[in-house]
């Protein structure tokens, strides 16, 4: 298993509260990602990082922010949680291995978030 730890693994929170999910990696990989998984949508990219303090938006970034102050940590913050953000959140990592290597992405075990 790739050295990826997500915390918390399960959380229930109230609408309007801020929530932060943490992803910690021990692989020293350059790229880190946050995806959300919802039935009928597969996995959708929220934000990603291509280095310390270098982040960019994915396809479903509204309502989310991220920070990466160290190579090993990538934080996802829901600024004011809504019921539509109830989902399973996956952190993933990838290294740049060369143009023709494919740069496989490896996933963490997921964080189940329920917004009530």
Partner 1 sequence: AQSVAQPEDQVNVAEGNPLTVKCTYSVSGNPYLFWYVQYPNRGLQFLLKYITGDNLVKGSYGFEAEFNKSQTSFHLKKPSALVSDSALYFCAVRVEGGATNKLIFGTGTLLAVQP
Q: Minimum distance from CB of 97 to partner 1 (Å)?
A: 10
CB 111 within 8 A of CB 7: yes
Minimum CB separation from partner 1 for residue 92, in Å? Answer: 8
Decide: 71 and 3 in contact? Cβ < 8 Å: no
Nearer to partner 1, 75 or 105 (CB): 105
Least gap, CB of 103 to partner 1 (angstroms): 6
Q: Which is nearer to partner 1, 9 or 15 (CB)?
A: 9
DSSP state of 9: S
- Binding positions for partner 1, rule: CB under 8 A: 4, 31, 33, 35, 40-45, 48, 50, 56, 58, 90, 92, 94, 96, 99-110
CA distances from 9 to 5, 55, 88, 90, 99 (A): 9, 23, 9, 10, 34
Residue 28 or residue 80: which is nearer to partner 1 going by CB? Answer: 28
Rounded CA gap, 60 and 58, in Å? 6
């Amino acid at each position: 298993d790739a050295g990826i730890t997500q915390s918390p693994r399960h959380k229930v929170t109230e609408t309007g509260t801020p929530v932060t999910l943490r992803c910690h990696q021990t692989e020293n990989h350059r790229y880190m990602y946050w995806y959300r998984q919802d039935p009928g949508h597969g996995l959708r990219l929220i934000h990603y990082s291509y280095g310390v303090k270098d982040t960019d938006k994915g396809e479903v970034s509204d309502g989310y922010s991220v920070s990466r102050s160290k190579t090993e940590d990538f934080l996802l913050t829901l600024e004011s949680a809504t019921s539509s953000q109830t989902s399973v959140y996956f952190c993933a990592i990838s290294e740049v291995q060369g143009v023709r290597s494919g740069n496989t992405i490896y996933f963490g075990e997921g964080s189940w978030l329920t917004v009530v």
